């Protein structure tokens, strides 16, 4: 099978925010197919290092081929965004006498690899199983999750994560489809959703099942829970002066990032109670916002990469140190 390509979103903007330095240590917490990681390595001089994490083993395989030329400057790990600090601790880059890392990137959402392989179950353009797991080695596939939810619970998922119009009707249609179909697949599921949405509510070129598929994918992968736990913990791996960039594709994700970054950039006396602070750190800010408003792709990027449409990039510079 040909090596899939994934055009990195907001690449130059994220590099401008992260400002990779010679010999710096970086972590790409959602390394995907390695596009952003490659740029970080290329900009951090011959001694710059990068740890790339992803929950998708297939993505890591592609990233390892793409980044092979950087040799032992790259370490790839199968793992979850929420566990990034522990992964860096296990590698000896954080904790104890280790200085922490100089930059951290999270580019959320799905990769082209996931979207374009029908057998992964993310796409309704070609028939695939009801799977949608980013980590094909763990967790519940979409079919199992859908079967376990009541109609009302499913309607809640569709509303909350997909802002799905007529969510009750769509949930009912999905449950009926699963009950009646002996071998359900993504194309059939999309057809059931489209039938329930009805022609009146269809807008423009977007397929009527797009919102429902996004909502189910977010629930299958606990994407908001992962992001919340990452945001609670990520400062634990940063060296003073480290820069962080997060790219989101969903308004609920962006809101979580915006709130946490704003909270961290207030004076330390007002910082979250869970941060262990030294006396010296009180009264000053622990972090500086690098983006008051999120950065969005420009017309040129949108013209060549429609997937960037909903992307938002926020940045933060960590000033403080978390006391041991």
Are 193 and 154 a contacting pair, CB within 8 Å? no
Q: Is 13 in the site for ligand SAM (CB under 6 A)?
A: no
How many chain residues interact with ligand SAM (CB under 6 A)? 22
In order, the DSSP letters of 131-168 are ---SSTTSS--HHHHHHHS-HHHHHHHHHHHH--TTHH
Query: Residue 52 pairs with which residues in a beta bridge?
Result: 28, 76
Are 102 and 24 a contacting pair, CB within 8 Å? yes
Q: How far apart are CA 120 and CA 8, in angstroms?
A: 21
Question: Exactly one of 13, 54, 185, 254 binds ligand SAM (CB under 6 A); which one?
Answer: 54
Q: Choose the stretch contacting ligand SAM; rule: CB under 6 A; options: 50-58, 116-124, 165-173, 296-304.
A: 50-58
Q: Choose the stretch contacting ligand SAM; rule: CB under 6 A; options: 52-60, 140-148, 169-177, 309-317.
A: 52-60
94 versus 196: smaller Cβ distance to ligand SAM? 94
Q: Is 20 in the site for ligand SAM (CB under 6 A)?
A: no
CB of 109 to ligand SAM, least distance (A): 5
Q: Choose the stretch contacting ligand SAM; rule: CB under 6 A; options: 25-33, 146-154, 195-203, 281-289.
A: 25-33
Neighbours of 116 (CB within 10 A): 15
For 3, list phi and psi in degrees, rounded to 5.
-70, 120
CB of 103 to ligand SAM, least distance (A): 14
Q: Is 265 in the site for ligand SAM (CB under 6 A)?
A: no
Q: Choose the stretch contacting ligand SAM; rule: CB under 6 A; options: 32-40, 116-124, 140-148, 252-260.
A: 32-40
Q: How far apart are CA 132 and CA 168, in angstroms?
A: 22
CB of 205 to ligand SAM, least distance (A): 22
Q: Is 49 in the site for ligand SAM (CB under 6 A)?
A: no
Continuous segment of H or E residues that includes residue 214: helix 210-220
In order, the DSSP letters of 269-284 are GGS-TTS---GGGTTS
Q: Is 59 in the site for ligand SAM (CB under 6 A)?
A: yes
Query: Residue 112 pairs with which residues in a beta bridge?
Result: none
Q: How far apart are CA 271 and CA 322, in angstroms?
A: 12
Which positions from 88 through 147 interact with ligand SAM, judged by CB under 6 A?
Answer: 107-111, 134
Q: Choose the stretch contacting ligand SAM; rule: CB under 6 A; options: 28-36, 200-208, 233-241, 268-276.
A: 28-36
Are 268 and 283 a contacting pair, CB within 8 Å? yes
CB of 207 to ligand SAM, least distance (A): 20
In order, the DSSP letters of 219-287 are HHTTHHHHHHHHHHHGGGGEEEEEEEEEEESSHHHHHHHHHHHHHHTSBGGGS-TTS---GGGTTSBSE
108 versus 212: smaller Cβ distance to ligand SAM? 108
Which positions from 201 through 240 interact with ligand SAM, judged by CB under 6 A?
Answer: 226
Q: Is 55 in the site for ligand SAM (CB under 6 A)?
A: yes
Q: Which positions touch ligand SAM (CB under 6 A)?
A: 6, 8, 30, 32-36, 53-56, 59, 80-81, 107-111, 134, 226
């Amino acid at each position: 099978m040909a090596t899939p390509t994934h055009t990195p979103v907001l690449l130059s903007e994220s590099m401008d925010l992260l400002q990779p330095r010679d010999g710096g240590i970086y972590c790409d917490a959602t390394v995907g197919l390695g596009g952003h990681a490659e740029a970080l390595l290329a900009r951090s001089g011959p001694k710059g290092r990068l740890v790339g994490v992803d929950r998708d083993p297939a993505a890591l395989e592609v990233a390892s081929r793409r980044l092979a030329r950087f040799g032992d400057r790259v370490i790839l790990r199968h793992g979850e965004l929420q566990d990034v600090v522990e992964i860096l601790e296990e590698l000896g880059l954080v904790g104890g006498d280790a200085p922490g890392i100089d930059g951290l990137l999270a580019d959320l959402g799905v990769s082209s690899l996931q979207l374009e392989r029908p057998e992964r179950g993310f796409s309704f353009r070609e028939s695939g199983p009801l799977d949608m797991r980013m980590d094909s080695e763990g967790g519940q596939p979409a079919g199992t999750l859908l079967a376990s939810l009541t109609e009302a619970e499913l309607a809640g998922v569709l509303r909350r994560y997909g802002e799905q119009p007529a969510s009750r009707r769509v949930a009912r249609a999905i449950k009926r489809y699963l009950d009646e179909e002996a071998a359900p697949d993504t194309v059939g599921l999309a057809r059931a959703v489209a039938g329930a949405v009805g022609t009146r509510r269809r807008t423009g070129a977007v397929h009527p099942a797009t919102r429902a598929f996004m909502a189910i994918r977010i629930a299958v992968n606990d994407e908001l829970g992962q992001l919340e736990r990452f945001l609670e913990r990520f400062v634990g791996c940063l060296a003073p002066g480290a820069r962080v960039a997060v790219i989101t594709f969903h308004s609920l994700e962006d809101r979580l990032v915006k709130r946490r970054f704003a909270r961290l950039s207030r004076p330390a006396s007002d910082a979250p109670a869970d941060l262990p602070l030294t006396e010296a750190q009180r009264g000053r800010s622990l972090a500086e916002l690098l983006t008051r408003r999120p950065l969005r792709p420009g017309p040129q990027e949108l013209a060549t990469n429609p997937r960037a449409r909903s992307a938002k990039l926020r940045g933060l510079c960590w000033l403080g140190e978390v006391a041991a």
